[in-house]
């Protein structure tokens, strides 16, 4: 039975490359840090979990040929890309209309954690560039004689796990500085505008800029 993992030298190269990519700040890092600063560490962790699940969905999509569909159909790519961008902008507008950070934190509960998880999942899943990233990156470490779909899913899951781990470090770092920001006069108002600006800017960036970064 053929292994779904590459030989150890190639696997080590994959792990190193994945870690280097995961540590590089990108849209996902901005998203989870913004959530952490606005709603606390629990919201940040929930965002990491949602983003990880959405990214894994993209890895599975790449494995079953969704990336090939995007490659031959600019309409399919554009529909998903702009849907994801619109959702980010919606979150930014929602943040502008939200109460101050202290009131949000007081009402923060299980249902709100579930909503944060859902938002992270939708934002990550509706990023077709992530699917194309997996389709371009993973084959560099695959054995053509082994099952392609199985290898793609396994390597995609490993990459997602590494990225989720590094995202958690960003969440804890943001959580450590959040209390200092909260004690500053006017920090709640400023934080609301920073949060909204980050989401809206990220949505515009997602819609306007090409590329193959999964982060």
d(CA 22, CA 168): 11
Q: Which two tokens stand for residue 53?
A: 């699940």
Q: Where are the domains of the chain?
A: 8-208
Asked if 94 and 26 touch (Cβ cutoff 8 Å), the reply is no
d(CA 74, CA 59): 19
Which range, of 53-62, 150-159, 168-177, 197-206, averages the lowest pLDDT?
197-206
Chain center to CA of 206: 12
The answer for residues whose C-beta is within 8 angstroms of residue 97's C-beta and 6 or more apart is none
Task: Read off the pLDDT band of 183 (50, 70, 90).
Answer: low
Looking at the predicted structure, is the pLDDT value of residue 184 above 80? no
Residue-level pLDDT at 52: 96
pTM of the model: 0.76
d(CA 101, CA 28): 22
The answer for residues whose C-beta is within 8 angstroms of residue 12's C-beta and 6 or more apart is none
d(CA 182, CA 28): 23
Section 110-125 average pLDDT: 84
Chain center to CA of 96: 22
Task: Read off the pLDDT band of 206 (50, 70, 90).
Answer: low
Average pLDDT, the chain: 79
User: Which range is most confident: 66-75, 90-99, 132-141?
Assistant: 132-141
Task: Read off the pLDDT band of 207 (50, 70, 90).
Answer: confident
Taking alpha carbons only, the member of 57, 199, 46, 35 closest to residue 117 is 46
Taking alpha carbons only, the member of 193, 183, 165, 82 closest to residue 128 is 82
Summarize pLDDT for 21-80 with one digit per residue, the tens.
888 877 788 889 888 888 889 999 999 999 999 999 999 988 887 667 666 777 776 776
């Amino acid at each position: 039975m053929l292994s779904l993992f590459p030989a150890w030298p190639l696997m080590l190269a994959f792990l190193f490359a994945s870690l280097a990519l995961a540590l590089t700040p990108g849209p996902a890092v901005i998203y989870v840090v913004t959530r952490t600063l606005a709603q606390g560490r629990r919201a940040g962790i929930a965002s990491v979990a949602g983003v990880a699940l959405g990214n894994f969905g993209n890895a599975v999509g790449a494995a079953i040929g969704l990336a090939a569909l995007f490659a031959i159909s600019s309409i399919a790519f554009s529909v998903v890309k702009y849907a994801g961008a619109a959702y980010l902008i919606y979150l930014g507008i929602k943040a502008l209309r939200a109460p101050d950070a202290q009131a949000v934190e007081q009402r923060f509960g299980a249902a709100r954690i579930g909503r944060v998880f859902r938002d992270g999942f939708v934002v990550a899943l509706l990023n077709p560039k992530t699917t194309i990233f997996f389709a371009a990156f993973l084959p560099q470490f695959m054995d053509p004689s082994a099952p392609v779909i199985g290898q793609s899913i396994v390597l995609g899951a490993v990459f997602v796990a590494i990225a989720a781990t590094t995202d958690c470090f960003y969440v804890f770092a943001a959580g450590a500085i959040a209390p200092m920001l909260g004690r500053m006069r006017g920090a709640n108002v400023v934080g609301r505008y920073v949060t909204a600006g980050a989401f809206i800017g990220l949505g515009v960036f997602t819609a306007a800029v090409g590329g193959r970064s999964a982060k």
